[in-house]
Amino acid sequence: MYQKRREILLSKLDGKAAIIPGANLVQHHSDCEYPFRQDSDFWYLTGFDEPNSIALFLSHKSIGERFILFVNPKEAYSEVWNGFRSGIEGAETVFMADKAHEVNQFKELLPNYLHGAEEIVFAVGRNPKIETIILDTWSNQLQRYPSVGSAPNSIKSPSLYLNEMRLLKSDYEIERMREAVQISAEAHELVRNNISLKNNERQVQGLIEGYFLEKGARGPAYNSIVASGDNACVLHYTTNNSDFKKDDLLLVDAGCSLFDYYNGDITRTFPIGGKFTAEQKAIYEIVLEAQKCAIENVIPGVSTNYIHMKAVRIIVNGLKEIKLLKGDTDEIIEKESYKHLYMHKTGHWLGLDVHDVGAYRLGDYEVPLENGMILTVEPGIYISDRLPIPEGQPEIEQRWKGIGIRIEDDVLVSNSIPEVLSKAALKEISDLEI
């Protein structure tokens, strides 16, 4: 599978040399590090999960000299402290590098590997240490260009070659996504079914993330959001440490990351005590209607912006009915006078990255959905005092404040029938009330 991906990349590179560094360990505090998280592009092309590695894809070289890995060498003491390394031999035999080297040889060997490449493909601005080596090497080659007659003539972004590949999921990737999303959905069900035993957001975080680990996932795909009451109006709330209050809603935005880094991303909002108040129910109904309509429109040929605007229109009309917005719907949409209540987009691509790679628009051209793409559909309404009320829009009565609702599903584009991968997490009002 990785070899096939490399072959596709190499054919797209057509004379260029791509340098894709893996991730490094990041210090958390003193000599403790964050859990290692491989770079998604590097992982997609190699399946190699060790830090400090660098991959070269040399489309200007002959077959058998095109995939080069630089890795940490085997070293008994390091392996005793920090675990197994594949080393040079493993990189060649298990990970099928045409040639592997110790990573500290990168600077010395790079000039030769770049020799003859028409262009360099490298993500500038993300890896200063490697970037310095690449720029030095390139600058030397440019200086020698008049006497030797060739040097790479520009640096291009890897996203030009990889994003479209990653955006269209293979059958195998779709299966992995099904698993990531299914575990995530089951965790949401577990939370709702056990909510009467919990009285604090943190306990719910523990329950949900414990389930991810129990099911063999690596852990949460992103910082889990467990937001009761008004906390739900903070979109990226991760403090997760408030006690529950009577009549609070609980918004949980959480998904797992599998060992091969495929991710779920699901949000559910439900009444902790089992009954919506009239105001909560009114808002929930609007968000659910917007979400269902948006999902129905996840079909090939449609753009994500079209889906977003479908959701926005339903939310604006719904908010007008309950007098939280007023005026002409088209004008409210055009002036974005709804954004104090719905301030984010309706979804994003989902895959190896939670906010996965792939263009939404290219200039004025809106990228149409195709079978095999996976995206989230996640409208919401958040009512609080945090943002100013746009000119001409009504003040908000106290009874609405502190209601934050988002409903987020993960959807596979599949002909005219969108497949909701997260359907095991229930969302009808009758499912959520006791």
User: Where does this chain bind ligand GLY (CB under 6 A)?
Assistant: 222, 253, 265, 348, 354, 378, 408
CA distance 108 to 357: 32
Please choose which of ligand GLY, Mn ion, none residue 49 contacts, taking the beta carbon within 5 to 8 angstroms, the exact cut-off set by kind.
none
- Out of 253, 353, 356, 409, which residue is the one contacting Mn ion (CB under 5 A)? 253
Give the angle 180-182-185 at the CA atoms, nearest 5°.
110
DSSP H or E run through 137: helix 128-148
- Out of 209, 265, 356, 410, which residue is the one contacting Mn ion (CB under 5 A)? 265
- CB closer to ligand GLY out of 248 and 410: 410
Question: Residues in contact with Mn ion, total (CB under 5 A)?
Answer: 4
CA distance 278 to 260: 44
- CB closer to ligand GLY out of 179 and 265: 265
Cβ atoms of 180 and 263 closer than 8 Å: yes
CA distances to 179, 259, 364, 413 from 369, in Å:
22, 28, 16, 7
Provide the token pair at 54: 């660098």
Please choose which of Mn ion, ligand GLY, none residue 248 contacts, taking the beta carbon within 5 to 8 angstroms, the exact cut-off set by kind.
none
- CB closer to Mn ion out of 87 and 264: 264
How is the chain split among helix, strand and coil, in percent rounded to 5? 40, 20, 45
Number of alpha helices (DSSP H) and beta strands (DSSP E) in the chain? 13, 20
- CB closer to ligand GLY out of 72 and 346: 346
Min CB(329)–ligand GLY separation in Å? 26
* Residues carrying an active site annotation: 31, 236, 253, 265, 344, 348, 355, 378, 382, 406, 408
- CB closer to Mn ion out of 20 and 411: 411
Min CB(352)–ligand GLY separation in Å? 15
Segment lying near Mn ion (by CB under 5 A), choices 253-261, 276-284, 396-404, 414-422: 253-261
Cβ atoms of 230 and 384 closer than 8 Å: yes
CA distance 117 to 134: 13
**Phi, psi (rounded to 5 degrees) for 282:** -60, -45
Please choose which of Mn ion, ligand GLY, none residue 2 contacts, taking the beta carbon within 5 to 8 angstroms, the exact cut-off set by kind.
none
Q: Of residues 343-402, which lie at the interface with Mn ion (CB under 5 A)?
A: 376
Min CB(379)–Mn ion separation in Å? 11
